[in-house]
Structure 1
């Protein structure tokens, strides 16, 4: 029979074995956990690396949602020039920049004169005239000049040549100066800078356009063009030509350009923008020779 000392040794040994077994199990679990974490980290690094390689973390430029300005309207000092009339300003954004708009000028001299405003070549002029027309700016105003260049000058409510709205805008689509040595053409003559039927802006001073415009009833070809072309007469050219024959008198400054018989714009309207259609052939007793195109590619 084993002595009590032997039993105690056996019990102590069994206890130690149990402790060692539990310790070994804890170590195994710790290693398993560490191994699992390591695998997870490696997988995460692989996913992140793949995403980076595919550009997932590339910074996207912020989209510019601000509308781009099409036109700039420069304020004019109405207190310094009492001939100016404040009817607000057109918008600067969201303006059409292709196609055409139809301008209809009804005068006391006969049927209406219609014109196609070229929005590709002169978007700001088209926007300005449309804005002013919507404010009845031109209604019941006089065309105060029949110019020596062969055009009817309109659009100044004051009739002085100094009037307009309380803003101005820059030149658009001014024709190039004639080539001093042009290539021969089939007709032997190049087209004029301002053919009969041209619609152009006129400003005082030049480059500060407002509301005044020219309707050419005959060809004009200066050595240095200065008037921005904004469109073409499409109807009522016979009315315009008849106005061009009216006698003129001194306008008070020594220039004999004022129509002896008042030429009154009873109304001026501008239609909605249209695209793709060329300007129709003018009606009346005459067709603009070499008139500028009102297509979006003009100018």
Structure 2
């Protein structure tokens, strides 16, 4: 018999899938309308021009971008009783979340200049909403990045520094990359085929425990990484501060106490993490967060 937590996860997953399907259907309908208008514009220029300029064809677009009409994200509760490393901060709102445009995340550490990350809200509205919510709670401030992983990334976002910490909610993958394609045979055996890495350096991705149950922990890759089975959903890309990321990646590592040489010899401290307001997209109605 499925546990209560399993049922909650399945319900939340199903709910989010329905919402994403409705959003995709509305977007497709809008494109069909725009295509039809474009095809008949020559014949309907006089009659339809006024209606077009007045926004008569924008009704579906308004519904698509009005995130206050329905839930955008589903947050799965996590129990402190089952994981004492979690930190109670409530949950982000489920409505009023922008689903277009971009947001900028700025990570200030004790190494070099700030790391600036661009997040595309079309691909990761819930991931960005979570970061924005937690940053407002100063969840990340004065926390340590406790690992330099063997995959070539700095591991941050866990206030406990154990890999078990996070907020008392989780959410599902939004922008999980596909496995890399099989390279085509090279005309010359001396020239290996070139394939774009799954996680190029500068990628910021979520790391869940287990995979797919994302919280606050994230990776910033300082090396290219192409796993056969990607498990980290991509949140954004570093647009400034890659020299800081590279310097952090060059820090020597020592044993973390469990036989893995991944603990940075010098402390890596997130002094602050902030997220800007959304730009370049529709402005959603304000929403209040829920406290558990």
How many residues are paired up?
Answer: 213
Cross-structure match for 1:218 = 223
Q: Which of structures 1 and 2 has the bigger CA Rg?
A: 1
- TM-score using structure 2 length: 0.69
1:110 counterpart = 2:112: yes
Is 2:116–2:240's contact at 8 Å kept on the other side of the alignment? yes
1:70–1:108 Cα change, 3 Å? same
Is 2:183–2:193's contact at 8 Å kept on the other side of the alignment? no
Alignment of 1:17-166 (within 5 A): 67-166=69-168
Deviation track 1:17-53 (CA, whole Å, cap 9, x = no partner) reads xxxxxxxxxxxxxxxxxxxxxxxxxxxxxxxxxxxxx
Deviation track 1:132-154 (CA, whole Å, cap 9, x = no partner) reads 00000000000011011111110
Which residue, 243, 246, 259 being the options, matches 1:254? Answer: 259
Cross-structure match for 1:239 = 244
- TM-score using structure 1 length: 0.68
Task: Structure 2: give runs of 5+ residues left out of the alignment.
Answer: 1-62, 187-191, 282-292
1:217–1:181 Cα change, 3 Å? closer
| Root mean square deviation of aligned Cα | 2.2
Runs of 4+ in 1 over 4 A off after TM superposition: 181-184
> What is the distance in 1 between the residues matched to 2:225 and 2:272?
27
Deviation at 1:182, TM superposition (A): 5.0
Task: State the secondary structure of the residue aligned to 1:203.
Answer: coil
Task: State the secondary structure of the residue aligned to 2:205.
Answer: strand
Cross-structure match for 2:280 = 275
Is 2:170–2:213's contact at 8 Å kept on the other side of the alignment? yes
Which residue, 167, 170, 183 being the options, matches 1:168? Answer: 170
Task: State the secondary structure of the residue aligned to 1:110.
Answer: coil
> What is the distance in 1 between the residues matched to 2:88 and 2:158?
13
> What is the distance in 1 between the residues matched to 2:219 and 2:120?
15
Task: State the secondary structure of the residue aligned to 1:241.
Answer: helix
